[in-house]
């Protein structure tokens, strides 16, 4: 299987889990404990991928100071994107009047697309650095998307916007393959920049965790359930790392 075919196939895992997250939201509605735990899991997986996989892989090929600076640039790029495209925190929209519904769902979709593209980009560059690492990142991101989409879906469902939400979720799901293609094309053109691309993606993922997911968790409270989800992400990360990466470490 060619590299492009392998990366695109892996990116489709997130398409599946994104749809599953929305369907699950339709079933459970507002279960604050489940959603808080899900956000905790998503936050943990994102931080662990960035801190324990992508950044060390980048540091193995470039100096730690260069990697650190590039991580900061990745976070800054996503921060600046908040001002250049329509983007808003979902928690700020929960419970607003129905007249804002269509615009709110659109803004949510833009936010999801923004960091789903980054996730696809990260997975593609991880695969090019090491196929085992790429598979690891793809599975971890797919697992992260399930509770993330659940947490994003519930408020919009409460506002009676199922059709719009599902459309937005599908658009978000296919943003990841787009990001994967962008990552492949960028590395094909500038192969020597692969470690820098990894570090940029890591910085963007850290930004998503701290600027998007953790504030979203505050909406639901349930600190204990958030912590439980975070702890579960550590266990899942260890299992995946042992099963997929132990041979190359």
The residues, ordered by sequence, that sit 6+ positions from 162 with a Cβ below 8 Å of its Cβ are: 26, 156
> What is the model's pLDDT at position 69?
96
Mean pLDDT over 228-249 rounds to: 78
Q: How many residues does the chain have?
A: 249
What confidence tens digit (pLDDT) does each residue in 116-127 have? 788 888 888 889
Please tell me the distance from the alpha carbon of residue 126 to that of residue 133, in angstroms, as a whole number.
Answer: 6
**What is the domain partition of the chain in residue ranges?**
3-243
What confidence tens digit (pLDDT) does each residue in 97-112 have? 444 445 544 555 566 6
Residues 45/230, Cβ–Cβ less than 8 Å: no
């Amino acid at each position: 299987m060619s590299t492009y075919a392998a990366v695109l196939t892996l990116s489709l895992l997130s398409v599946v889990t994104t749809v599953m997250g929305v369907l699950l939201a339709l079933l459970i509605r507002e279960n604050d404990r489940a959603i808080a735990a899900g956000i905790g899991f998503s936050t943990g997986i994102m931080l662990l991928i960035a801190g324990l996989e992508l950044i060390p892989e980048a540091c193995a090929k470039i100096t730690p100071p260069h990697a650190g600076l590039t991580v900061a640039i990745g976070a800054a790029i996503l921060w600046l994107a908040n001002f250049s495209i329509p983007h808003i925190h979902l928690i700020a929209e929960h419970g607003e009047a129905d007249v804002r519904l269509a615009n709110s769902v659109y803004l949510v979709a833009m936010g999801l697309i923004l960091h789903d593209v980054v996730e696809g980009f990260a997975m593609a560059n991880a695969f090019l650095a090491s196929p085992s690492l790429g598979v690891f990142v793809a599975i971890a991101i797919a697992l992260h998307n399930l509770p993330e989409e659940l947490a994003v879906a519930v408020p919009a469902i409460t506002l009676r916007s199922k059709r719009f939400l599902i459309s937005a979720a599908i658009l978000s799901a296919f943003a990841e393959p787009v990001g994967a293609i962008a990552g492949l094309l960028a590395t094909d053109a500038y192969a020597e920049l692969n470690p820098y691309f990894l570090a940029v993606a890591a910085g963007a993922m850290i930004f998503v965790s701290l600027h998007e997911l953790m504030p979203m968790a505050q909406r639901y409270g349930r600190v204990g359930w958030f912590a439980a989800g975070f702890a579960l992400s550590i266990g899942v990360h260890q299992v995946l790392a042992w099963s997929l990466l132990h041979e190359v470490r």
